[in-house]
Amino acid sequence: MAAVSHRRAVDDPTWAKVLIVGVVMAFLALVLILPLAAVFVEALRKGLGPALDAVNNPDALAAVKLTLITAAIAVPFNAVFGLCAAWAIAKYEFRGKALLITLIDLPFSVSPVVAGLIYVLIFGLQGWFGEYLVDNDIKVIFAVPGIVLATVFVTFPFVARELIPLMQEQGTSEEEAAVSMGASGLYTFWRVTAPNVRWGLMYGVLLCNARAMGEFGAVSVVSGHIRGLTNTMPLHVEILYNEYDFVGAFAVAALLCLLAVVTLVLKTALEVGAPGMRGRGGH
């Protein structure tokens, strides 16, 4: 081994590396770490007791429960939809495929506020079904069904857009082999396709869940902000903050931060551990 340092032509000089990494670290610390740290510091400003009280309070617990219920409906729904859509798009050739993918991606480009508005226009008092719903005493807007619908809308593409490229990459030969040997469609799906896409599915579900639990704009429009009834955790944070109960707001926010941190840890674990998942960016 020669002691001469042999720099490859594509290596940047050390000073440039240090400078770029330093700038990046400083930027990320300012933009990402500082807000995260601020949440925990503000939550614990008056000590652990008041923070725990703010979380262990009937309204806060009702918000936690509603958030969990909403995610428990929206995430499996979008997972099943994503699997169907990815199967239809990846395993067959048909016209209009690009358009279909664009339409599935559409909710990503729609403002969350507009996502809430569209359901108010359909199910609200002046909406398409407004009179029918009032006559039959069914509440969608300012009630749980509206919150679930709005959440389904904003998280609609997450699983599908993770699975479509993955299934397209894997092609159809394995499924064709299974079918030609007499396997049924469902059997082929469970025994051939599902094992191939399970990490991608988990990845999509993880991101879908984070967004479902954290959605604010769309849910805010349809919820009506009734404490203990139609308040999700992010909405509860807003109410407490606007009432100048900063410790309470940041304590509930800290819970949501923990959700985000767990999501990021699991996501990193999937990227490092699961085959074929390296270097995937998500939404």
Partner 1 sequence: MWRARILDDDQTMTADTAVRRSSAPPPRQPGKRPLFRRRSAIPGFGLTMGVTLTVLSLIVLIPLSAVVLKAAHQSPADFWAVATSQRSMAAYRLTFGAAFVAAVINGVFGVLTAWALVRYDFPGKTMVNALVDLPFALPTAVAGIALATLYAPTGWVGQFLTPLGIKAAYNPVGVTIALIFIGLPFVVRTIEPVLRDAAEDVEEAAASLGANRIDTILRIVLPALAPAWLTGFAMAFARGVGEYGSVIFIAGNMPYKSEIAPLLIIIQLEQFEYARAATIAVVMLAVSFTMLLVINAIQAWARRFD
- Which residue number, 2 or 186, has a Cβ lying nearer to partner 1? 186
Q: How far is the CB of 182 from partner 1 (least distance, A)?
A: 12
Tokens of 176: 């064709």
- How far apart are the C-alpha atoms of 196 and 189, rounded to whole Å? 10
- Which residue number, 41 or 48, has a Cβ lying nearer to partner 1? 41
- Which residue number, 62 or 83, has a Cβ lying nearer to partner 1? 83
- Which residue number, 172 or 196, has a Cβ lying nearer to partner 1? 172
Q: How far is the CB of 89 from partner 1 (least distance, A)?
A: 8
Q: What is the DSSP letter of 229?
A: T
Q: How far is the CB of 65 from partner 1 (least distance, A)?
A: 17
Per-residue CA distances from 235 to 18, 54, 253 (Å): 42, 14, 10
Q: How far is the CB of 265 from partner 1 (least distance, A)?
A: 7
- How far apart are the C-alpha atoms of 226 and 218, rounded to whole Å? 16
Q: How far is the CB of 66 from partner 1 (least distance, A)?
A: 14
Taking CA 173 as the corner, what is the angle to CA 171 and CA 177, rounded to the nearest 5 degrees?
A: 150
Q: How far is the CB of 112 from partner 1 (least distance, A)?
A: 6
Backbone dihedral angles phi then psi of residue 128, each to the nearest 5 degrees = -55, -45
- Which residue number, 62 or 154, has a Cβ lying nearer to partner 1? 154
**How distant is the alpha carbon of residue 87 from its chain centre?**
21
- How far apart are the C-alpha atoms of 216 and 116, rounded to whole Å? 10
| SS3 letters across 115-134 | HHHHHHHHHCCCCCCHHHHH
C-beta of residue 221 within 8 angstroms of C-beta of residue 113:
yes
- Which residue number, 38 or 61, has a Cβ lying nearer to partner 1? 38
Q: How far is the CB of 147 from partner 1 (least distance, A)?
A: 14
CB-based burial label for 163 (10 Å; 0-12, 13-18, 19+): buried
